[in-house]
Structure 1
Amino acid sequence: MKPKIAILATGGTIAGVIDDAITTTGYKAGALNIEVLLDAVPQIKEFATIVGYQISNIDSSNMSNEIQLNLAKKINKLLTKDEIDAVVVTHGTDTMEETAYFLNLTIKSDKPVILTGAMRPSTAMSADGSKNLYNAVALAINEKSKNKGVMIVMNDRILSARAAVKTHTLNLDAFSSPNFGDLGYILDGKVYFYNTIEKLHTKNTPFDIDHLEDLPKVDILYTYSNDGSGVAAKALFENGTQALVIAGSGSGNIHENQKNILKELMKKNLIVAISSRIQVGEVILSKEDEDFGFICAQNLNPQKARILLMLALTKTKNSKIIQNFFQTY
């Protein structure tokens, strides 16, 4: 009996079109529906029974909390059914790592959940979406894919949602895992694992989103040379932002102008996590900053730190507990 795989489409380049087979930019993302994507890869029906769902059809730069919540709820509902063995999500690459990490923290099943997409639209002669989708289904039905957390498949590479980062704007080989290494690769539909990541995920996190209709407002601010007086931080806080992630320089340093304002706002209950604008390495906080209540994002980049901080705020506003979340997940 073939495994049954649910494929959930959200849009993105994999569903993009343009009236020119040579052109790989300037296309309309999210133009095709799930049926067209599945018809383009009939080979997957040879080894799996496929059911498709259209969750959204957007350019993933427009991804929202609402869509991520709806997606996670739908996946959790599907995976409670015995007949659904795994889920594949097609997604735009701009924010794929954010959605993947969100699902990694909120899916409550050890069944495989795989995200994939494309760097070139479906109409390009060099389109990569069909092969990526084929690989994603091949990974989804592999017995060794269970209990590995949410994974991303792009360009034959298998990446953990916790580790995956988009590291190139346009190349087919656009994703990597600079801090942890890839989990494995896929060759001619065969899956090879050679790495594991020990951060807790899925069933082993406390984040239950089934009752949530929205998420706390968390924003990201850069720090840079000649950084201003903290006007942006003040404006965001006054506009309802509950927490900020700072993309620090180096190992998490913040210009003194901005840092002084952040400390003022933290006395008014703003939560602040410090990440880095550098892709590889750890953030290091001084004892003084730790004692003041700054949260160290460890090796999570700013966009993923925002995801975890949003979910953390659904459980607590205690900075020490939140810090433990960053160390654990």
Structure 2
Amino acid sequence: MHTHSLNLRALNCASGNAILATAAIVLSTLLAPLPATAAEPAATTSAASSESTSAKPRIIILATGGTISGAADARSAIGYNSGEVSGQQLVQGVPGIEKLATVKSEQISNIGSQDMNDKVWFALAKRIRQIFDGNEADGVVITHGTDTMEETAFFLNNVLDSAKPVVLVGSMRPGSALSADGPLNLYEAVEVAASAQARGRGVMVVMNETIHAPRWVTKTNVTSVQSFQSLNAGPLGYVDPASVRFLAPVGQAAAARYTLPKDDQLPRVDIVYAHSNMDATQIDHAIQDNARGIVIAGVGDGNVSKPAMEAMLRAVQKGLVVVRATRVPSGFVNRNVEVDDDKSGFVVAYDLNPQKARVLTQLLIANGVTAADKVQQAFAATY
């Protein structure tokens, strides 16, 4: 019972009236301070909820098409057409993604990744720079077809310079397929991009609950959901709907970064595939077609037939950058093993597969780096 200026004992002694005593007790109760109302905790909860919402990472999804945006086609049991679904529709098809981050989507293109080109690459690079420079988001996710995803990731990793994460993601099955892998892949890509652990790690690829670095990742199977592997180094980490786990701390940021050509077009660099009974025709055609560089997808440690080797020497004499890579899925092409690279003026790709060696050669030429020793230094950098 609360105490007030009303003296209950005086009232009882003066009147002896039990009714007045009862009235005094009622009055005392009415005058007592009110307890905290239910509205107060509700207001606190609302404020906390608002703070939690505003604190969620901001992720922008840049959609480019690919199988993840594909729709079934009746031409076969597994037939589909890439680039039939918009980025916004993809986001709407992933339950719970809104709990990870505040997500917005933009459509950059809607193509199969077999049609990926410089125009889309430059559009992605410029938009990502704009997003980060303007603090529009804390991370970017790019939905992409799997056929050239590793090339796009490698390109972006060489032209972007931000601590904020960029994550590429796709799917091996279209959304209309049984056990479609796209929704979970997209959920986990956003989860990685929204993770504080992802800062400072540059561009990444997230597929099948695995986080890969652009330099190492490659597509190894035509249809398997486990297609993407980092053959020479292993993955960066793993992700599931409950956790993001990187296997190593953030390393030192790569120093080498390349500027984009003003004409939004990379110089021509051809890939020539080595095989038995190989002649010089394709290499000579690359020279005649004004290629600025040639990447050889050689046999073994980047070797070719004698006629092809002679054509490669002619290409060097014409001022082309000639890079020896290998058609073998894993391993390193080293200098001066079966071929005298120092004498010939060739560059070796080390661990880079032919498609990534081509991208790096394009960027180097575009940035005025054409001397064999300088190009070789760039291939040796681990980024």
The TM-score range, normalised by the shorter chain, is over 0.9
Is residue 315 of structure 2 the alignment partner of residue 262 of structure 1? no
Amino acid of the structure 1 residue aligned with 2:347: I
Letter in 2 for 1:250: G
- When normalised by structure 2's length, the TM-score is 0.81
1:16 aligns with 2:70: yes
Is it true that 1:167 corresponds to 2:217 in the alignment? no
Higher helix share: 2
Counterparts of 1:117 and 1:137, CA distance in 2: 12
Partner of 2:7: none
Q: Letter of the aligned partner of 2:143 in structure 1?
A: T
Is 1:48 aligned to residue 63 of structure 2? no
In 1, the alpha carbon distance for the partners of 2:210 and 2:129 equals 25
Contact residue 62 and residue 141 of structure 2 kept, 8 A = yes
Contact 2:345 2:372 in 1 (8 A): yes
Alignment correspondent of 2:232: 179
- 207, 227, 234: which one pairs with 2:278? 227
**SS of equivalent residue, structure 2 residue 271:** strand
User: What number of residue pairs does the alignment pair up?
Assistant: 324
1:220 match: secondary structure: strand
Q: Of residues 271, 283, 287 in structure 2, which corresponds to 1:237?
A: 287
Q: How far has the Cα of 1:196 moved from its partner?
A: 6.4
Given that residues 183 and 196 in structure 1 are in contact (C-alpha distance below 8 angstroms), is that contact kept between their aligned partners in structure 2? no
Q: Higher RCO, 1 or 2 (CA under 8 Å, sep at least 6)?
A: 1
Contact residue 73 and residue 209 of structure 1 kept, 8 A:
no
- SS of aligned partner of 2:287: helix
**Number of the residue aligned with 2:345:** 293
Q: Which consecutive aligned stretches of 4+ in structure 1 deviate over 3 angstroms post-superposition? A: 195-201
Return the alpha-carbon distance in structure 1 between the equivalents of residues 240 and 262 of structure 2. Answer: 41
| RMSD (Å), alpha carbons | 1.7
Summarize the alignment of residues 204-215 of structure 1 with structure 2, pairs less than 5 Å apart.
204-209=255-260, 211-215=262-266
Report matched runs for 1:182-193 at 5 Å.
182-193=235-246
Q: Which runs of 5+ in 2 are unaligned?
A: 1-54
Distance 1:198 1:221 in 2: 35
CA shift at 1:207, angstroms? 0.2
Structure 2: distance between partners of 1:279 and 1:199: 28
1:305 aligns with 2:357: yes
- Aligned match of 2:147: 94
Q: Give the deviation of 1:177 after TM superposition.
A: 0.5
The letter of the residue matching 1:243 is: G
Q: Which residue of 2 aligns with 1:121?
A: 174
Q: Secondary structure at the match of 1:153?
A: strand
- The whole-number CA distance in structure 2 between the counterparts of 1:300 and 1:198 is 20
Equivalent position to 1:31, from 84, 92, 97: 84
Shift of 1:198: 6.0
Identity among equivalent pairs (%): 39
**Distance in structure 2 (CA, Å) of the matches to 1:234 and 1:71:** 34
Equivalent residue for 1:148?
201
Deviation at 1:107, TM superposition (A): 0.9
Contact 1:252–1:285 under 8 Å retained in 2: no
Aligned letter for 2:364?
Answer: A
* Cα distance change of structure 1 residues 165 and 104 upon mapping to structure 2, 3 Å threshold: same
Question: In the TM superposition, what whole-angstrom CA distance separates every residue of 1:123-174 from its partner, at most 9, and x where no partner exists?
Answer: 1121110000000000001111011121100010111111101011101111
Q: More displaced, 7-16 or 287-296?
A: 287-296
Show the counterpart of 2:28.
none
Contact 1:181/1:195 (<8 A) preserved: no
Deviations 1:59-106 (A, max 9, x none): 101111221111111111111122410000000000000000001111
In the alignment, structure 1 segments of 5+ residues that lack a partner are none
Could you say which residue in structure 1 is the equivalent of 2:330? 280
Whichever of the two has the greater Rg, that structure is: 2
Choose 90-99 or 183-192, whichever is displaced more.
Answer: 183-192
Cα distance between partner residues in 1 of 2:252 and 2:175: 35
1:249 aligns with 2:299: yes
